[in-house]
Amino acid sequence: MVSGLLSSVEGSLLKATPNFHTYADFFNKVFPFYLSMGMSYDEFWEYDCQLVKAYDESYKQRMRDNNFLAWLNGRYVFEAVGAVIGSSFGKKSVKYVEHPYDLFAEDQDIREEQTMRKNGNIIFENLKVMQKQRDERKKK
């Protein structure tokens, strides 16, 4: 049994499990996953097994990069929606960012966070004003 020796591949559906009776069972199961990472047939079956670790790390880094890009996209959407809602319904104008975020500036993160909080507070204040106006209309 190979069960105790098999480790999981992060991001895959494979887990350390006693379902594999031989190494061949395991390698045949993980082969499609590594093909999906871009590893060739020869690289998987014939080359150094250390190459598999490099593909694993490369895959994990791509997933981290994709996750960051999704988060960054959400941040831009949040700013855009906040600017529209804040400017349309509130007393204070909220402006959308004029330039793309500088991802490599050290002090930029602090400034962006302060801007996000400021815009978030303005949006929140505008929403409170809208709610107050709605409540006053209901009373009439």
Q: Is the pLDDT of residue 17 over 60?
A: no
pLDDT attached to residue 114: 65
Q: Is the pLDDT of residue 27 over 70?
A: yes
Q: Give the whole-number percent of the chain exceeding pLDDT 90.
A: 8
Could you tell me the pTM of the whole model? 0.53
What is the helix, strand, coil percentage profile of the chain, to 5?
A: 65, 0, 35
Render pLDDT for 71-116 as a digit per residue (tens, 0 to 9): 989 988 888 888 888 777 766 777 777 878 777 766 666 666 666 6
SS3 assignment for 30-42 = HHHHHHHCCCCHH
> Are 53 and 32 spatial neighbours (Cβ–Cβ below 8 Å)?
no
Cα separation, 132 vs 72, whole angstroms = 33
How many other CB atoms sit within 10 Å of the CB of residue 14?
Answer: 16
Higher pLDDT, 65 or 112: 65
Render pLDDT for 31-52 as a digit per residue (tens, 0 to 9): 888 888 888 888 888 888 788 8
Cα separation, 122 vs 125, whole angstroms = 5
> Are 38 and 32 spatial neighbours (Cβ–Cβ below 8 Å)?
no
Helix, strand counts (H, E) of the chain: 4, 0
Instruction: State the pLDDT confidence band at 18, using cuts at 50, 70 and 90.
Output: low
Cα separation, 96 vs 50, whole angstroms = 47
pLDDT attached to residue 9: 46
